[in-house]
Structure 1
Amino acid sequence: MADNYLKLVNSGFTKELAKSLGLPRPSILRRYRRGQPLVPGPVVVLGAGSAAHELTETLLGWGLDVRRHAGGSEKLGALILALDAVEAPGDISSIALETGAALRSLAPGGRVVTISRPADATDAPARSAARQGVTGLLRSLGRELRGGATANGILLAEGIRADAPSATAALHFLLSGRSAYVDGQFLTIESARGELPADWDQPLSGKVAVVTGAARGIGAAIARTLHRDGATIVAVDVPQAGDALAKVANEVEGTALQLDVTRHDAGQIILDHARQRHGHLDIVIHNAGITRDKLLANMDAARWDSVMAVNLESQLRMNEAFLAAELPGLRIVSLASTSGIAGNRGQTNYAASKAGVMGMVVATASAMAERDGGINAVAPGFIETEMTAKIPVATRTVGRMLMPSLMQGGQPLDVAEAIGFLASDAAGGINGQTLRVCGQSLVGA
């Protein structure tokens, strides 16, 4: 949840005071609003090869001002680096240096996006080194940007063109305000599957989406965002959250389902509800989760087992039911956490469950692909919710100082935007992956 700190350090005399005291001054991030330009200025495409041409044609098709060289005093909305054809480390140099010269012209909230191919064990050593080098370049560059600008990458599997549907959709997402808190991350396009939306503002039109843990926080933000994007929502939460759940369901003009997801028949109950009330089921968002923090030396079975039951085992059982139902084109997105990637003191149970979610996603991807569907995960970092708003301002300020580029926590909306993208048909070529939404920081749960 946003607080007043951002406003205070970005306006009036408090802005100058913050500068004089050396306080972190995070920028107000450029987030999506219907009708706003995709990027805040012209787009420069750097590099040669087939991807540069394909990207230029795609961007021109969106009505953007596209240029092949940086220069002049005009602020740029985005820099796109076509690095798909690199064969040796030296191939990166000219584009990297040209990018560096253009960075001073990048507008606040601008974007840098690399297009490259993943390193492979069968590559020649020089090619593998160059391709892996793009990763280090991109992630380090993301830590140098200011003004709310971000840097992210798209990895094209062999044989995938830069204008494949999911590559196009990933580029649109990363350039837009929807990716405000995604920084230093890569999306791999593994296949040519995917179908671009007729309306980029309503990419989920006609879809029925289930959101678990929807009564508050990130879950409520997911329900609102998917509804905004055109989906019909089934909001799910425990009976104890009934009033809050009904409020969210009414707000998004969907239906509420009071259900404990740890029930062994939860998946079938969700299926029956969606079919009976809405005719079909297209999207499942596994958001329900709990924490029961304790140092492992003091951990008891109740804390450990309850976290595993809600955060991981319930998803495994529900996915079995959804796979058995042979739902064509079903897309599943699970909530992981940066705690499951880097660990977090006092969260061995939580980190184990969230790392387990990522393992589940990888192992389930092929079965989903056989049904023309897909499964991915989103791993939030420090997201500012009602709970984190209770942390003293000084403590939150120190925490923000540990975040090297954006210098702030994310909002529940930021997580919801990433989920909305991965839940769309346009992301059909993205499967079995985990996307971090953390401002390139591993702080938080």
Structure 2
Amino acid sequence: MGDRYASFANSDLGRTVVRRLGLPDPPRLRRHDPSAPLTPGPVLLGAASGGRLACPVRELLGRTGVDVSGAAEDGARYGALIFDATGIVDSAGLRALYDFFHPVARSVLGSGRVIVLGTAPEACGSPREATAQRALEGLVRSIGKEFGRGITAQLGYVAPGGEEALESTLRFLLSGRSAYVSGQVIRVGAGAVTAPADWARPLAGKVALITGAARGIGAATARVLARDGAEVIALDVPAAGDDLAGVANEVRGRALQLDLTAPDAPERLAAYLTGGVDVVVHNAGITRDKTLARMDAARWDSVLDVNLSSQERINDVLVERGLIGDGGRIVGVSSIAGIAGNRGQANYATSKAGVIGLVRSGAPVLADRGITINAVAPGFIETAMTARMPVLLREAGRRMNSMAQGGLPVDVAETVAWFASPGSGTVSGNVVRVCGQSLLGA
């Protein structure tokens, strides 16, 4: 089922009605188009005094072919605003943010981008600097809610020494691939990365395993990773065999029928992956909804096993046997339910919060092996599952975010592809919500 309200709101008659009645106004989002430029207009780049990222960012953007301006011009319209806030070392310095954004707040084109770059508070040299850098989160999330028209806002905390590792993240955040990602805080670590030979096909020569790949987000992820050059192994339960085969054939990949909760599943998977794998996407998941008081033990156990424990078992066997090695990427699928909780989904929310814990605890351990681990946390995504929701709940899910609409499976898939890119080698331990800046959760 499509979003009929959004289609109406974007019609000539609908725009008039929406504006007169003050109804939610879902904009047309700019999504990935390989023939389109990275941004819909030039980038205005500003910096606080003493910032360390403006020069590297200018050089990175130069390689993408984006026009960059260092000073605002009267009447100019911008595809993106980027501000280097790393030079802000106390609360008084936060005035630089107002001085940069206030004059140009209405100058961003529809579906434009706002990016603020700073230093993670825990990496700051003084309590005052850490305080000022933490304040950036409030600014970014407010901009995401104020600017409208499909404009997104993000905060990137870049570790000293992570300047050159920023390119993959900048490309993602500036592009149409991040259409439904807004109000997020992303940490880019220090270290060198190997840039893809071709940014249009960054996964060329890589093998990607995607669980729960027969439909929805999993199928979209298979398509996007294949588009980016990966050889895809699409995995799902035998009962989804026909749909799974269809996806695998479409992306010219391989289909693997396997129940991940079977006692011998890790061994069977390891035997199949004798040649190793470069990217693992843990998308398989189920729901068995009941309030906790009415939930039987089987509903609890099955959801935790599929959504969380199976990920741990697969990761353990792949890492211990070297089937995913240096440069490997592990991406889990969490949910905003794991951040905010949800009535009637205590089991599901617990499992998805556990995925966040798996990412946060696993990142430092896997870093020693050169493997990154991150997670996406989708909000309301237009899938067959959400189409079956009661109409009022479905409409609330669609409208209660800064984009006033639901996301698409491809929005989640694009975020997974960014995590999977060779250029994202210092991006680890992140949980990025793909929710249009939902009003639910942090």
With the length of structure 1 as denominator, give the TM-score of the two structures. 0.94
User: 2:320 — aligned with what?
Assistant: 324
CA distance in 2, matches of 1:348, 1:202: 40
Residue 421 of structure 1: SS of its match in structure 2?
helix
Counterparts of 1:287 and 1:161, CA distance in 2? 29
Unaligned runs of 5+ in 2: none
2:232 aligned partner? 233
Which residue is 1:409 aligned to?
406
Tell me by how many angstroms 1:121 deviates. 7.9
The one-letter amino acid of 1:311's match is N
Letter paired with 2:398: R
Aligned to 2:130: 128
Q: Label 1:283 to 1:122 Cα distance change in 2 as closer, same or farther (>3 A).
A: closer
Amino acid at match of 2:22: G
Query: Secondary structure at 2:223's aligned position in 1?
Result: helix
Match of 2:54 in 1: 52
Displacement after TM superposition at 1:366 (Å): 2.6
Deviates more, 1:432-441 or 1:361-370: 361-370
Q: Which moved more, 1:431-440 or 1:48-57?
A: 48-57
Q: Does 1:10 align with 2:7?
A: no
- Amino acid across the alignment from 1:377: A
Q: Where does residue 432 of structure 2 map in the other structure?
A: 435
Structure 2 residue matching 1:388: 3-state secondary structure = helix
Alignment partner of 1:291: what SS?
coil
What residue in structure 2 maps to residue 282 of structure 1?
Answer: 278
Q: Distance in 2 between matches of 1:320 and 1:161?
A: 29
Matched, 1:34 2:65: no
Q: Which residue of 2 aligns with 1:114?
A: 116
Report what 2:384 is aligned to: 386
Q: Is the 8 A contact 2:213 2:247 kept in 1?
A: yes
Task: Return the alpha-carbon distance in structure 2 between the equivalents of residues 413 and 33 of structure 1.
Answer: 12
- Kindly provide the CA deviation profile for residues 29-62 of structure 1, in whole angstroms up to 9, marking residues without a partner as x: 1101112110000100011433111111211222
Please name the residue that 1:292 is paired with: 288
How far is the alpha carbon of 1:301 from its aligned partner?
A: 0.2
Checking the alignment, whether the CA contact within 8 Å between 1:208 and 1:274 is kept in structure 2 is: no
Task: Give yes or no for contact 2:380–2:398 (8 Å, CA) kept in 1.
Answer: no
Q: 1:161 to 1:290 in 2, by over 3 A?
A: closer
Deviation at 1:442, TM superposition (A): 5.1
- Equivalent positions of 1:262-277 (< 5 A) are 262-275=261-274
Q: Find the residue that maps to 1:422 and give its secondary structure.
A: helix
Residue equivalent to 1:87: 89
1:189 deviates by: 1.2
The one-letter code sitting in structure 2 at the alignment partner of 1:280 is G
Q: Is contact 2:162–2:192 with CA below 8 Å preserved after alignment? A: no
Taking the TM superposition and a 5 Å limit, the aligned residue runs for 1:248-267 are 248-267=247-266
Unaligned 5+ runs, structure 1 = none
Distance of aligned partners of 1:74 and 1:200 in 2 relative to their CA distance in 1, 3 Å threshold: same
Q: Which moved more, 1:66-75 or 1:405-414?
A: 66-75
Q: Distance in 2 between matches of 1:413 and 1:153?
A: 22
When structure 1 is superposed on structure 2, of 379-388 and 234-243 the one drifting more is 379-388
| 1:335-414 paired onto structure 2 within 5 Å | 335-391=333-389, 395-403=393-401, 405-414=402-411
Following superposition, the deviation at residue 3 of structure 1 comes to 2.7
In structure 2, the CA distance between the partners of 1:389 and 1:59, relative to structure 1 (3 Å rule), is same
Code of the aligned partner of 2:307: N
Partner SS, residue 104 of structure 1 = coil
1:209, 1:325 → 2: CA distance?
A: 17
State the identity as a percent. 48
Does 1:160 pair with 2:158?
no
How many residues matched? 437
Question: Which of the residues 69, 72, 91 maps onto 1:70?
Answer: 72
User: Cα distance, 1:2 vs. partner?
Assistant: 4.4
In structure 1, C-alpha distance between the alignment counterparts of 2:84 and 2:345, rounded to whole Å: 40
Specify the alignment match of 1:19 in structure 2: 19
Q: Quote the Cα distance in structure 2 between the aligned partners of 1:2 and 1:160.
A: 45
Partner of 1:200: 199
- Are the structure 2 counterparts of residues 46 and 171 from structure 1 closer, same or farther at C-alpha, using a change threshold of 3 Å? same
**CA, structure 1 residues 399+381, in 2 after alignment: closer, same or farther (shift >3 Å)?**
closer
Cα distance in 2 for partners of 1:37, 1:415 equals: 21
In the alignment, is the contact (CA less than 8 A) between 2:168 and 2:421 conserved in 1? no
After superposition, the CA RMSD in angstroms is 1.7
Give runs of aligned pairs for residues 146-185 of structure 1, distance below 5 A.
146-157=148-159, 159-162=160-163, 164-165=164-165, 167-185=166-184
Task: Name 2:215's counterpart in structure 1.
Answer: 216
SS of the equivalent of 2:20 reads: helix
**Counterpart contact for 1:264–1:317, Cα < 8 Å:** no
CA distance in 1, matches of 2:245, 2:399: 38
Quick one: distance in 1 between partners of 2:309 and 2:397? 32
Contact 2:400–2:439 (CA<8 Å) still a contact in 1?
no
Report the CA distance shift for 1:273/1:128 in structure 2 as closer, same or farther (over 3 A). same
Q: Report what 2:139 is aligned to.
A: 137
Residue 207 of structure 1 contacts residue 230 of structure 1 at CA under 8 Å; is this kept in 2? yes
CA contact (8 A) 1:46 1:95 kept: no
Displacement, 1:89?
1.3
Deviation >6 Å, runs of 4+: none
* SS of residue paired to 2:106: helix
> Are the equivalent residues in 2 in contact too, given 1:142–1:151 (CA < 8 A)?
yes
Distance 1:174 1:121, change over 3 A: closer
Per-residue CA distance 1:107-141 (angstroms, 9 max, x = gap): 00100001100112874232111111111111111
CA distance in 1, matches of 2:367, 2:151: 34
Cα pair 1:211 1:219 within 8 Å, conserved:
yes
